[in-house]
Structure 1
Amino acid sequence: MGRLWVNGTEEGHACDARRRCAEAVSRSSVSKRYAEADASARRGIRTAARRGRTAPPHRAARG
């Protein structure tokens, strides 16, 4: 990461785009809420239950 690529190969392009996308996602408050719910689900805590809501277990926590 952080390597300068001049010829614009597919690998470099994909890596750069993926990194930029990851940065944008990490800055997004919506994805932050998703990531928080995902982490809580992994710990066994239902964020939906804390809010007084029941979430279907098949519903993905991210995306």
Structure 2
Amino acid sequence: MTLKNSESKEGFTVVLHSCRTGRTTVDKNGNLTESVAEKMSGSKEMKDVTIIAPDERDGFSNKGT
């Protein structure tokens, strides 16, 4: 079953592996910009979907560090 074809989105999890896709930003005037993950989770298509996203740099290593 795919997310697109499912009647219920409950139980689906989307994991984003791009740096800072879970980070809300604030500009010098104090204006907030929602993160990519927040924008996704606020859409009706993603209702009941769990979204996991890093708010800092995301990196992987074959050395376990």
TM-score bracket for this pair, using the shorter chain length:
under 0.3
Instruction: Answer 1 or 2: higher relative contact order, Cα 8 Å, separation at least 6.
Output: 2
The structure where strand makes up a greater share of residues is: 2
The structure where helix makes up a greater share of residues is: 1
